Amino acid sequence: MKKLLMFTISILLICTGCTFVKADNSQGGFMDKKILIAYFSWGGNTKSIAEKIHNSVGGDIFRIETATPYPEDYNETAYGIAKKQHEEGTKPELKNNGDVSGYDIIFVGTPVWWYEPAPAVKTFLSENNFEGKTIVPFFTHGGGGKYTIAEDMAKLAKGSKVLSPLVVYGKGNSETDKEIDNRLKQIK
């Protein structure tokens, strides 16, 4: 009877250990790091990349949203509000500024909007304290490439270390998953 009890306890302990390893979605160098994936997305491209990263590295995911949503109409957003905000350097009010204080590595995602991070991402970077944090930028663009967006982010997120960005055209293609994996391996 005693033997049976010991055997059951051992099996339980082993299984608890298994669950721990399985529940920890982070791998390699991310193991002991707290990760946040924060992103803004108007049309869904950046959202899909954010979700791919989240599936690979785990951690928490946070969607950055403006207090006043952008119109659904492309021209109204792109050539109306967003262009004006770009020209005036606006940092729009957010629905929720988020909180990066409990995290070591923050993946920050944005679509390229008028050669820059989207205004909402500028607000997110300015309104949070990034002192001592590592930022991994990722962005999606419509053909213009990476511009100086990582540098723009570094200026806004004072005291942070900004790694080189993951840059994706549109919503990516069949190669994107591989690129993401390679990039994540480099970071680790």
Binding status of residue 62 toward ligand FMN by CB under 6 A: no
Among 19, 115, 175, 185, binds ligand FMN (CB under 6 A): 115
What is the nearest approach in angstroms of ligand FMN to the Cβ of residue 75? Answer: 9
Q: State which of positions 14-33 bind ligand FMN (CB under 6 A).
A: none
Q: Which stretch binds ligand FMN (CB under 6 A): 30-38, 39-47, 88-96, 174-182?
A: 39-47
Distance CA 104, CA 73 (A): 37
Binding status of residue 38 toward ligand FMN by CB under 6 A: no
Distances 149 to 23, 81, 102, 113, 117 between C-alpha atoms, Å: 34, 20, 25, 10, 6
Among 65, 170, 172, 179, binds ligand FMN (CB under 6 A): 170
Among 38, 82, 120, 180, binds ligand FMN (CB under 6 A): 82
Q: Could you tell me whether strands 105-113 and 161-162 are parallel, antiparallel, or unpaired per DSSP bridges?
A: unpaired
- The encoded tokens of residue 48 equal 């899909």
Q: Output the CA torsion sign for 155, 62, 139, 79.
A: negative
Binding status of residue 46 toward ligand FMN by CB under 6 A: yes
Residue written as tokens 């033997």? Answer: 3
Distance CA 89, CA 158 (A): 18
Q: Which residues bind ligand FMN (CB under 6 A)?
A: 41-47, 77-78, 82, 111-115, 140-144, 170
